[in-house]
Structure 1
Amino acid sequence: MDDLHSHLKDLEERLFDPAVRGSRQALAELLCTEFREIGSSGRLFDLEDILTQLPADPGDTALRTLEDFHVSQLSDGIALVTYRATRTSPDKPTVRSLRSSIWRLEADGCWRMLFHQGTLTR
């Protein structure tokens, strides 16, 4: 379980990386084809929304960090991760949120995110 914890934390942190966020291909390698996200705005996004919108925002240089990372294995090949995220930018207020993701082990042996939700906190 410790290996899974470290691996999924690494995958979540990759999604914080501006180089990954700016690359349609890198994002597609981390997300399932059925991916869905409920953003902190309350909007629902699918895979194509993410693959189109994230790389189109090259000005997003915010630093993202996570803490209180927890993994719950729901079944073989399905895991729920929860954590607190902080986004800091030099020219914007700091944003804090609670995050949850469901990761699925795919047939090719790679873990990919199936679902993600962010909820703003104070």
Structure 2
Amino acid sequence: MISVPSLEEIQSLEEALHRPEIRRSREDVETLLAEGFVEFGASGSVYDRTTIIDLLAQESGTDEGELRTANYALKPISNDAVLLTYETERSYHDGSKRCVLRSSVWKYDGLKWQMFFHQGTVRS
């Protein structure tokens, strides 16, 4: 039986995907995202693993504004999977803000934890 990871461990993996230097590294993102990964984006679009890896690798280095995260919670959902939920708030240079509720399923592959599913829902 696999021991449940700590909130800090999974939060650290999740937050790695927030960092531009990780997001633009195809190798790093491939390590973090499981085969079969799917994302339901805050935009309403659905992305598969290959598409997300390609999109992140092409991101520009421009500053998109400050990202704040809060209210992390971790719940086991099976012997080898956990659900991470949290909120983000991005503040843009024009003074606008975008708040998103986020959830990620992290799955243990026998060696490491990888994100299997992610969803962002814009909060109005």
State the TM-score, normalizing by the size of structure 2.
0.89
**Residues 38-117 of structure 1 mapped to structure 2, 5 A cutoff:** 38-62=40-64, 63-91=66-94, 93-107=96-110, 109-117=111-119
CA positional deviation for 1:13: 0.7
Is contact 2:20–2:61 with CA below 8 Å preserved after alignment? no
How large is the Cα RMSD of the aligned pairs?
1.8
Q: In structure 2, what residue type is equivalent to 1:76?
A: N
Task: State the identity as a percent.
Answer: 31
Unaligned runs of 5+ in 1: none
Q: Do the aligned partners of residues 44 and 23 (structure 1) sit closer, same or farther apart at CA in structure 2, a change above 3 Å counting?
A: same
Q: Distance in 2 between matches of 1:100 and 1:68?
A: 11
Structure 1, residues 58-87: CA drift from partner, whole Å, max 9, x if none? Answer: 144233221100000011110001110112
Q: In structure 1, what residue type is equivalent to 2:60?
A: P
Unaligned runs of 5+ in 2: none
State whether structure 2 residue 9 is matched by structure 1 residue 13: no
State the TM-score, normalizing by the size of structure 1.
0.90
